Amino acid sequence: MLNLVKELCLLNGVSSGEDDVRDYLMERCRPYAASMRVDALGNLIVFKRGEKSTGNKLMLTAHMDEVGFIVNDITEDGYLKFAPVGGIDPRVVIGKRVSVGRGRIPGAIGLKAYHLVSAEEEKKVPDFEDLYIDIGAKDRADAERVTALGDLVAFESDAVEFGSGMLKAKALDDRVGCAVMLKLIEEELPMDCTFVFSVQEEVGTRGAFGAAFSVVPEIALVLEGTTAADLPGTDEHRRVAILGKGPVLSFMDNGTIYDRALFEQLRELAEEHGIPWQTKNYLSGGNDSSAIQRTKEGVRVAAVSTPVRYLHAPSSVVCCQDFNYVHTLVKHFIEALAAS
């Protein structure tokens, strides 16, 4: 599982440009899928047959996209101006390496030289419009030879194991969920399952709505990466989730109140099988559940998430044991659903 997560994180897939991630997943899923299709928005929908024929009763989903930027201007000096795609804190991007467009042109995010910063500016976090991407171009014409307006920009970051079973990488939200689903697709399952690798979650859960509308599941299980703020100086009640404490079972967030019976079932399965689990102790964020829940006549939804430190940053961190536990818990959930 660890190597799979690493490989997925090294791919670029800023919202609306998930092509490389989708191509990788299609290649891996092809030998195991009963059917596979890409819809109009770009969602990858994989149907996997299990021991029991249950059709579209259960849909599992994880999003392929990651946060990033989009080029919206090129200066006469050859610098790229940009806007964020998804929720990014400008404090985490200054000086970071990025890659631009499908050609992955290397660049670095810069800002005004420090010796030119006024005392008042020094107290203020720069806005995105104050920043630029330096790709080493001589002038605008030189930059336009390798980039264009509308090019997507992704963080450039290695996937590195460190400390006591930790992994640092970009896009852990939600390549950990994609990795768990791919692992399940490659295994024998007790019932039919539909897997949706969704697009554009980071810009408003856009892909999941269309996918759920076409699949029409009875139950949807969303596999996500969720905020962990288990850091020095953070009050305990605001830490949301803690790395190493197991999967996060959500009962509510900013977009969804989850199905109570499914939440209790997941909790009971975790306790029965000795899987550590936690809930969000500070309600925040949202995910594809909010779009799926409201599809057609409504869908029962549950979420199992991997806690992630420094979410939406170039160097996010997870505990590898947590996403392994997510995989185990989801397998037990599918088994329980098949048995019932």
Q: Are residues 212 and 274 in the same domain?
A: yes
Residue 160 lies in a domain: no
Residue 28 lies in a domain: yes
First to last CA, the chain: 29
Q: Are residues 50 and 181 in the same domain?
A: yes
CB-based contact 27:196 (threshold 8 Å): no
Can you tell me the distance from the alpha carbon of 330 to that of 287, in angstroms, rounded to the nearest whole number? 18
pLDDT tens per residue, range 180-234 = 999 999 999 999 999 999 999 999 999 999 999 999 999 999 999 998 876 666 6
Can you tell me the distance from the alpha carbon of 254 to that of 267, in angstroms, rounded to the nearest whole number? 21
Query: How many structural domains compose the chain?
Result: 2
Q: Are residues 73 and 61 in the same domain?
A: no
Q: Are residues 222 and 306 in the same domain?
A: yes
What CATH number has the domain bearing residue 7? Answer: 3.40.630.10
Q: Are residues 48 and 179 in the same domain?
A: yes
Residue 162 lies in a domain: no
In the three-class reduction of DSSP (H, G, I as helix; E, B as strand; rest coil), residue 298 is classed as: coil
Last residue of a domain, one of 126, 155, 184: 155
Q: Are residues 76 and 30 in the same domain?
A: no
What CATH number has the domain bearing residue 74? Answer: 2.40.30.40
For residue 199, the 8-state DSSP code is: S
Can you tell me the distance from the alpha carbon of 21 to that of 23, in angstroms, rounded to the nearest whole number? 6
CB-based contact 290:255 (threshold 8 Å): yes
Residue 164 lies in a domain: no
CB-based contact 53:194 (threshold 8 Å): no
238 backbone φψ class: left, alpha, beta (φ>0; ψ -120 to 50): alpha
**Which residues does 148 contact at the CB level (< 8 Å), separation at least 6?**
71, 101
Q: Which of 156, 201, 202, 224 is catalytic?
A: 201
Strand 193-198 and strand 44-48: the pairing is: antiparallel
196 beta partners: 45, 61
Q: Are residues 55 and 203 in the same domain?
A: yes
Q: Cα 179 to the chain's mean position, in Å?
A: 11
Q: How confident is the model at residue 66 (pLDDT cuts 50, 70, 90)?
A: very high
Most confident of the ranges 178-192, 228-242, 273-287? 178-192
What global pTM score does this model have?
0.94
Angle separating helix axes 19-29 and 172-185, nearest 10 degrees: 20
Residue 31 lies in a domain: yes
Residue 280 lies in a domain: yes
Q: How confident is the model at residue 241 (pLDDT cuts 50, 70, 90)?
A: confident
pLDDT at 236 (0 to 100) = 64
Give the mean pLDDT of 116-123. 72
201 is annotated as an active-site residue: yes
Expressed as residue numbers, the domain containing 240 is 2-66+170-339
